[in-house]
Structure 1
Amino acid sequence: MFAILTHPAKLTLKALCGLIVLVLSVTTSQAQTAQRPNIIFIFSDDHAYQGIGAYGNQIVKTPNIDRIAREGALLTNNLVTNSICGPSRATLLTGKYSHLNGYKRNDRTKFDTSQTLLSEKLRNNGYQTAWIGKMHLNSLPAGFDYWNVLPDQGHYYNPEFIGQPNDTTKYTGYVSDLITQFATGWLEKRDDSKPFFLIVGHKATHREWMPDLQDLGAYDNVTFPLPSTFYDDYKGRKAAADQDMTIDKTMRMKFDLKVGVDYEKDFLYNRLNAEQKKVFKAYYDKVSKEVTDKNLSGKALVEWKFQRYLRDYFSTANSLDRNIGKLLDYLDKSGLSKNTVVIYASDQGFYLGEHGWFDKRFIYEESLKTPFVIRYPGVIKPGTKVNDLVVNIDWAPTVLNIAGVKTPADMQGKSFLPLLKGPQVAAKTPWRKEAYYHYYEFPQPHHVYPHFGLRTNRYKLVYFYNGADSWELYDLQKDPKEVSNIYGAKGTEKLAADLKIKLKALMDEYKDDEALKILATAKP
């Protein structure tokens, strides 16, 4: 092109003008591409917000997640629409509630990739896209230029990955390290003429909580305080009383806490190589001996299980945070930090002994709320906090907004980017006052009754159905632990009636016809 410009005599004036327009157009396009930010969405599994330093936990160490929050924004009321793994990932990709995106439960449902997807919208608008790590949607990634994902739940040690086009390869190593290795490897080889969108899906901290060898025993010198609701009696809460997710009765000594494991026959441990097995077995043999020697029973055994659970859980979280740090370091060293948005979130919240539980599912705060921190250099002021009710249907529209792409009409969320730009912009931004929730999976695996409800800044109203058939109402200002169901109490009649009207309005807005039919026949 520039060789031609050195011989203007050979060009007509019209041709020369056309060429100048072309050069300006290319230059402008390149400048716009350079300004459009890269976006990395780090997505963990079952990582509780109350187990993160930035959210107030002073015992555990999460320096790299804390760094993202410190250098950007932290959402204090980031809620999910359906507190369970696969459905949350489907919502990230679609910006829609489970009843519309078709993925309600963690079963063998195959995620419908023909619907409007975040990844496809970004790719069609000039982004290079990739998903690396855990996906858990019973389908291969769609709308992604590159993927290397774990089959189903994946394994902590020596896991298989499915690459393109559909090749399964087993790797030696720990899953968090491998995911980071593949992510940085892709970043090295990407098309650097395009901005990129990368989802890094971590397996940690999903149940069976197998820490990396270097993290075994990381919290053995810590005695975790029992949550105030650990011995909850579930009075006035039929569904809470009838679940199967307690540390006492549901958590298994062998599978969950590694007591008395058969390292040759058990499918989780016979995949370890000789060196890994030696270290792993030596540590957990001591754990098994401890509980055998103590001969515990009753509350003493339950509390021992609680301590053992949290020690494994947070030791597993160490690898997650450390690998987030590796990725941040890579961005710094490669010069990508200045123009890369980094988001960290979990697929939903998780119980760390509250109400005596582990797992998620309920609309109660510990599983309804999930961590969300975001760093956007030059746009989000470091140390920003957002207290508004953000829902995970908002994640996709926000990412699209950051990328300069219009939100598709069939996405039900809206961008909360204005809320991240400071109190003056946020104050001018109309935002929701109520958030809607609907959970479906029943009776397996934890016998949590299906339910729907809404949360406001102060109140929560929920209806359990399919056998529980009961209402619950909480004043979160007076009862933040949600142990006092005030539905039906004298003086709450108008409040409950008003909240039911708002609940129905949300069902109408989000087109949840199934819920509307149940609500119409719900017990008063």
Structure 2
Amino acid sequence: MAVEMIMRWAGVLTWVVPAFFAPALSIAEPNLPPTRDMNLLMITVEDWAANAIGAYGNPVVQTPSVNSLAKRGVIFDRAYCQATVCNPSRASFVTGMRPDYTQVFRNSDSMDALVPADAPSMARILDQDDVFTAQFGKLVHKWDDAGRFAKGFDLIEYTHDYDQPPGFEGTLRRSPAGPAGIDDVEMECLEIADKNAATRLKRLWDEREERLAAGAENSWTLRKPFQQLFAEQVGDSGIDEASMEDGRLVRSAAKLLGDLAASKQKFFLNVGLYSTHTPLLAPKKYVEAYSPSQMLLTAATRNRDHLVPDVARRGGKNYDIFNGLYPEYGPTDQRQREAVAAYYACSNYVDASIGVLLDKLAETGLDQNTIVVFFADHGFQLGEHGCWSKFTLFEQSTRVPMIVAVPGMRHAGDRCGQIVELVDVLPTLCDLWGIPKDDRFEGDSFMPLLASPNRPWKKAAYSCITLGGLGRSVRTKDYRYAEYHRDTAPPTNASDPHAVELYDMRSDPWEQNNLAGRPAYESVQQQMRDLLISGTKSINVLDTD
């Protein structure tokens, strides 16, 4: 990309601050260097569990790039998403608003249709006069349903064959094919090492294409046989790392970083990576680093759960891997070990992809003036309670990795044990750049924690998931409490949940001993229920005890 093109794109859209935005506040922090003129590189990863990263204590998976980033930034040990499925989680951190505001609770929900028309939007807010804004890979769930949230980006690059987002005024392009000639992410599956599965997938894909050509609606029902078989695949992708989806994205983004460094253009760049999402396929060299026979299966098995509601465990149903549609891919011990090994291989590969970006920052000198914000949209279950993938309110799904590295920060390498949430990300980006925060934001800027990681902070994190209606969870440092209701309305004192959970996270970190309803915990349960019901009225209250 020519530098002069970058300079031209950089001024395409200008965001005018409306009157309802709060006035800018001083954001100077004594332990942070000035950040207003720094660049922002945000790295968002799908489905990456914190406990599958070396910097978060996993001794097996190899994540040298993220580990290195952790040494240069603050690593948040208690970061939580607002929903444990892609669309509502991303709708929340893109707007700085919670699901009750966005009304996006499911992957099938349309942001364009449901999110209020004047809602805050990350791209529009960060699209300042002197900033080049770019998006590579995934930010929202589907641009088809979130076109107005593309507004503000000067450049969007896909690997998927999507149309231009409705209302998008910038430049849209497709990631170039990798060295192996792979340029269609949906058909990467045909390169997998398991040729029998590849043949079956091709047949299912062709049948779907034939039905679409004959006028069938492009629905989940039509896609399901292909997608559910695809989700069961683990191990060798059959593709080199530069040709897989994430490999193409980060190499193209790295080229843009080089051009931006040469032009000295201030930028916001988000790179959204996919590989820790099912199917758990990675390049062969990463797969070979993890022997299934050496993988440990979780001790938090379903038969050890005591009074854990069935709805909390999705009624024993998985939606991605081990989905039950193809019995030959059942959750045997061997198959589960293969899945854990493959997940670690995918984690290793995502880390290597992140390394491409971090290396380019160092090579160009951008590491001296670029803030790196890294997090996942939600976690991933690896068999805990019999659950795989996400779609639960357990810690493995709600907790996410998050690291923020500011060049020259005093607390580089420190850990923060305070509770933060993904809804806090956009307010934090505003503070880092000195942009007035929308007074409707439901998250809190955690910029003060970058300067002082151990200072008192918020008391609780809130997450939700559509299970038996809607499950809502509140997490404090010591406890997690959840209620399941038949509808999506916020709970009240008069609400009657059909299932309740209470766990002491200090003594029961795997959440296998449900304490709800026990007389000895009546007071704790009421306090946690009050927190849940008060919702946004209490979550912004800082803990000064």
Moved more, 463-472 or 343-352: 463-472
Distance 1:64 1:102 in 2: 36
Distance 1:34 1:194 in 2: 15
What are the Cα deviations for residues 275-305 of structure 1, in whole angstroms up to 9, with x where unaligned? xxxxxxxxxxxxxxxxxxxxxx9xxx62111
What are the Cα deviations for residues 60-87 of structure 1, in whole angstroms up to 9, with x where unaligned? 1000011111121110000111111122
What are the Cα deviations for residues 93-119 of structure 1, in whole angstroms up to 9, with x where unaligned? 111112212322101514457532122
2:373 partner SS: strand
2:42 partner SS: strand
Aligned equivalent of 2:258 = 188
CA gap of 1:213–1:249, structure 2 versus 1, over 3 A, is closer
Aligned equivalent of 1:463 = 483
What are the Cα deviations for residues 116-168 of structure 1, in whole angstroms up to 9, with x where unaligned? 212211113532211101232333422211111244xxxxxxx7797965566
- Measure how far apart 1:34 and its partner are: 9.5
Alignment of 1:474-493 (within 5 A): 474-493=503-522
What are the Cα deviations for residues 149-201 of structure 1, in whole angstroms up to 9, with x where unaligned? 244xxxxxxx7797965566773221111111221122233483532111000
- Measure how far apart 1:353 and its partner are: 2.0
2:404 partner SS: strand
Aligned equivalent of 2:153 = 144
Aligned equivalent of 1:178 = 248
The answer (yes or no) to whether the contact 1:234–1:240 under 8 Å persists in 2 is no
Aligned equivalent of 1:120 = 124
TM-score normalized with structure 2 length = 0.71
- Measure how far apart 1:243 and its partner are: 3.8
Distance 1:79 1:355 in 2: 20
Distance 1:349 1:110 in 2: 22
CA gap of 1:101–1:509, structure 2 versus 1, over 3 A, is farther
CA gap of 1:247–1:413, structure 2 versus 1, over 3 A, is closer
Partner residue of 2:134 out of 122, 127, 130: 130
Partner residue of 2:417 out of 361, 384, 387: 387
Distance 1:510 1:476 in 2: 19
The answer (yes or no) to whether the contact 1:80–1:368 under 8 Å persists in 2 is yes
CA gap of 1:33–1:248, structure 2 versus 1, over 3 A, is closer
CA gap of 1:43–1:161, structure 2 versus 1, over 3 A, is farther
The answer (yes or no) to whether the contact 2:472–2:483 under 8 Å persists in 1 is yes
1:418 partner SS: helix
- Measure how far apart 1:228 and its partner are: 1.2
Alignment of 1:94-243 (within 5 A): 94-107=95-108, 109-111=110-112, 112=115, 115-124=119-128, 126-135=130-139, 136-137=141-142, 138-140=145-147, 141-151=150-160, 165=171, 171=177, 172=182, 173-190=243-260, 192-220=263-291, 223-238=294-309, 239-241=311-313, 242-243=315-316
The aligned length equals 420
The answer (yes or no) to whether the contact 2:317–2:323 under 8 Å persists in 1 is yes
Q: Which has the larger radius of gyration?
A: 1
Question: Which segments of 5 or more consecutive residues in structure 1 lack a partner in the other structure?
Answer: 1-31, 152-158, 258-296, 443-447, 512-524
- Measure how far apart 1:230 and its partner are: 2.6
- Measure how far apart 1:356 and its partner are: 2.4
Distance 2:164 2:303 in 1: 43
Distance 2:458 2:534 in 1: 13
What are the Cα deviations for residues 367-406 of structure 1, in whole angstroms up to 9, with x where unaligned? 1100001211112522111111101110111111111212
- Measure how far apart 1:422 and its partner are: 2.7
Aligned equivalent of 1:287 = none
What are the Cα deviations for residues 312-335 of structure 1, in whole angstroms up to 9, with x where unaligned? 222222221111111111111101
- Measure how far apart 1:247 and its partner are: 9.6
CA gap of 1:198–1:466, structure 2 versus 1, over 3 A, is same
Aligned equivalent of 2:187 = none
Partner residue of 2:431 out of 401, 404, 416: 401
Distance 2:335 2:171 in 1: 43
The answer (yes or no) to whether the contact 1:184–1:327 under 8 Å persists in 2 is yes
The answer (yes or no) to whether the contact 2:286–2:345 under 8 Å persists in 1 is yes
- Measure how far apart 1:250 and its partner are: 2.9
Partner residue of 2:374 out of 335, 339, 344: 344
Distance 2:321 2:377 in 1: 25
Q: Does 1:413 align with 2:451?
A: no
Question: Which segments of 5 or more consecutive residues in structure 2 lack a partner in the other structure?
Answer: 1-32, 183-242, 488-496, 541-545
- Measure how far apart 1:221 and its partner are: 6.3
Letter in structure 1 aligned against 2:462: Y
Identity percentage of aligned residues: 25
Distance 1:181 1:149 in 2: 13
- Measure how far apart 1:216 and its partner are: 3.6
Distance 1:53 1:452 in 2: 30
Letter in structure 1 aligned against 2:134: A
Moved more, 215-224 or 244-253: 244-253
Aligned equivalent of 1:53 = 54
CA gap of 1:240–1:302, structure 2 versus 1, over 3 A, is farther
The answer (yes or no) to whether the contact 2:292–2:338 under 8 Å persists in 1 is no
Aligned equivalent of 2:215 = none
TM-score normalized with structure 1 length = 0.74
CA gap of 1:385–1:435, structure 2 versus 1, over 3 A, is same
Distance 2:79 2:68 in 1: 18
Distance 1:52 1:254 in 2: 31
Aligned equivalent of 2:80 = 79
The answer (yes or no) to whether the contact 1:134–1:150 under 8 Å persists in 2 is no
Distance 2:128 2:44 in 1: 23
Distance 1:178 1:398 in 2: 29
- Measure how far apart 1:472 and its partner are: 1.2
1:316 partner SS: helix
1:389 partner SS: strand
Q: Does 1:376 align with 2:376?
A: no
The answer (yes or no) to whether the contact 2:159–2:245 under 8 Å persists in 1 is no
Distance 2:539 2:138 in 1: 28
Distance 1:365 1:244 in 2: 18
2:334 partner SS: helix
Aligned equivalent of 1:261 = none
